[in-house]
Amino acid sequence: MSDETAVLDPVDLPTDPAPDTPRQVVRRRSLQDLLFVHSVRGAGLLVLVVTGSIGVFLGISSVPTLQHYGLSYFTEFRWIPSQDVIGISGALIGTVEVALLALCFAIPLSLLTALFITDWAPARLRPTLVLLVDMMAAVPGIIFGLWVLFLIQPHAAHVAHWLSTYFGWIPFFHVRTDVDYPIWNQLPGYPSYAGSAFIAAIAVTMMIFPMATSVMREVFGQAPVGEKEAALALGATRWAMVRTVVLPFGRSGVIGGTMLALGRALGETISVVLVLQLSFERKPYVLENGNATISATIAAFFKEADAAQLSALLTAGFVLFGMTLLVNSIAAGIVSRSRGSDVTDL
C-alpha cells in the first residue's frame, strides 16, 4: 500500500445520526381567534338550519294539497278556489317566461357593462362605475316596479305593438287581437299590451342586472394580466384581446352570473305584482296582456286565503323554493370553480 493512501480507523468513521422526527406543532389560538372561528361556524350552521327549516315547513304544508289534488295540481292551469279548481301550470309557465325574457334583456347588458368596467373604462372612472352598479342592487323592487309602471310601460307598449304588427306571424310575438283596432288612437294605457310578461320582464331585468354584472366583473378582473399584455404586444386590438383572453377565462363566470340572475328572476315578486295583470292560462304570447307567476300569485291571494287555499299557495312556494335552490346551488358551484381557475383557453 502506498504512502498516499490513507486508511481510516473504524473508530474515526462518523456514526449514523439519529433519525429525524417531526416536531409536534402546538397551535395556541388567541381568544379573538376562537371567537371568530366559532362565530363564523355558528353563522354557517344557522344559515343551513334556517334554509332547511324553510324547506321542511313548506314540504309539510304541501302535504294536504298534494293529497287532495294529486298530480292535477301541476297540470291544471286555472286558479278558482270557489270551484275547488286549483293548479299552477299556468303560473309555472309564466314564471319561466318572465325569467327567461329578463335574462335575454339583462345578460347582454351585464356582459357589456362588465367588460367595459374591466377593460375599457379609464382607471379613475372604474371605482365610480362599480359603486353605481352596486348601488342599483340596493334599490328596492317596488321602486323599479313603479318606474316601469308609470314611465316605461307606455313606451314598451308601443314596442310591443310594433313587434306584434310586423312579427306577429311568429307565435312568440302573436297577440290575439286586432293590432290595428282604433282603440290605439282613442284610449291611453293600451289594454291589449299593458300588464304583459314582456313589460314585467323589464322590471325584473333591473333587479337582476346588478347581480349578474358584479359576478362577471369579478371574474373578468381575475384574467391573467401577463396574457392580456402579451396579446396587446403581439398587435392584437383590445377587442381581440378580450375575445381570446378575457372571455375564455371568464366563461364559467358568465354562466354562473347568468344562473344566479335566473334564480333571482324566478322569485321576483313586488315589481312583477305591480306591473303584471294576473291571468291564469297557458299561453306563449308574451306581448299579450295578462299572465301569472308563482310569486305574484302568492302575493296576490295570500292575505284572503282560507286554509285550503293557503296550503295550495304554500305548495306553490315549495315548488318555487326548490327551483331557486337548485339553480342557485348550480350557479354557486360554477362561480367557485371559475375563481379557482388559472388556465386560459386560447
**Percent of all residues in the chain with a pLDDT value above 90, rounded to a whole number:** 37
pLDDT at res. 331: 77
pLDDT score, position 26: 65
Predicted local distance difference test score (pLDDT) of residue 17: 60
Q: Residue 185: what pLDDT?
A: 42
Lowest mean pLDDT of 8-12, 36-40, 45-49, name the range.
8-12
What per-residue confidence (pLDDT) applies to 303? 85
* Whole-number pLDDT of residue 52: 92
Domain assignment present for 119: yes
Q: Is pLDDT at 212 greater than 70 in this prediction?
A: yes
On whether residue 90 sits in a domain, the answer given is yes
Asked whether residue 152 is assigned to any structural domain, the reply reads yes
Name which of 95, 273, 286, 107 is nearest 198 in CA terms. 286
pLDDT-wise least confident of 21-35, 162-176, 320-334: 21-35
- Supply the range of the domain harboring residue 165: 46-339
Q: How many residues does the structure list for the chain?
A: 346
Q: Which of 125-134, 185-194, 293-302 has the lowest mean pLDDT?
A: 185-194
Distance CA 159, CA 179 (A): 12
Grade residue 346 by pLDDT with cuts at 50, 70 and 90.
Answer: very low
pLDDT at 187: 44
The yes-or-no verdict on residue 344 having pLDDT over 50 is: no
pLDDT at 217: 92
- Cite the beta strand spans of the chain per DSSP E: 79-80, 85-86
pLDDT tens per residue, range 220-266: 988 888 898 898 898 888 999 999 999 988 888 888 889 888 988 98
List the grid coordinates of 25.
Answer: 406543532
Q: What is the reported pLDDT for 343? A: 45
Q: What was the pLDDT predicted at 335?
A: 67
Q: What pTM does this model have?
A: 0.82
Residue 166 has pLDDT above 90, yes or no: no
* CATH number assigned to the domain comprising residue 99: 1.10.3720.10
Would you say residue 125 lies in a domain? yes
Q: Using an 8 Å Cβ cutoff, are 248 and 323 in contact?
A: no
Cα 144 from Cα 139, distance rounded (Å): 8
Span 123-150, average pLDDT? 90
How many domains is the chain built from?
1
Alpha-carbon distance values, 183 to 61, 163, 190 (Å): 46, 17, 8
pLDDT of residue 15: 57
Q: How far is CA 177 from the centre of its chain?
A: 34
The predicted structure's pLDDT at residue 183: 52
Per-residue CA distances from 74 to 245, 276, 316, 318 (Å): 45, 22, 9, 12
Spatial contact of 249 and 222, defined as CB atoms under 8 Å apart:
yes
Residue 198: which pLDDT band, with cuts at 50, 70 and 90? very high
Contacts of 95 (CB under 8 A, 6+ apart): 266, 293, 294, 295, 320
Q: What's the whole-number mean pLDDT along residues 153-165?
A: 86
In a domain, 283, yes or no: yes
Instruction: Decide if 21 is inside a domain.
Output: no
CA angle 94, 95, 96 (to 5 degrees): 90
What would the grid cell of residue 37 be? Answer: 372561528
Per-residue pLDDT band at 340 (split at 50, 70, 90): low
Predicted confidence (pLDDT) at residue 175 exceeds the cutoff of 60: yes
Q: Which of 108-117, 118-127, 183-192, 261-270 has the lowest mean pLDDT?
A: 183-192
Give residue 186's pLDDT band: very low, low, confident or very high (50, 70, 90): very low
- Given a cut of 60, whether residue 134 has pLDDT beyond it is yes
Residue 216 has pLDDT above 80, yes or no: yes
Under the banding of pLDDT at 50, 70 and 90, the label for residue 133 is very high
Say if 317 falls within a structural domain.
yes
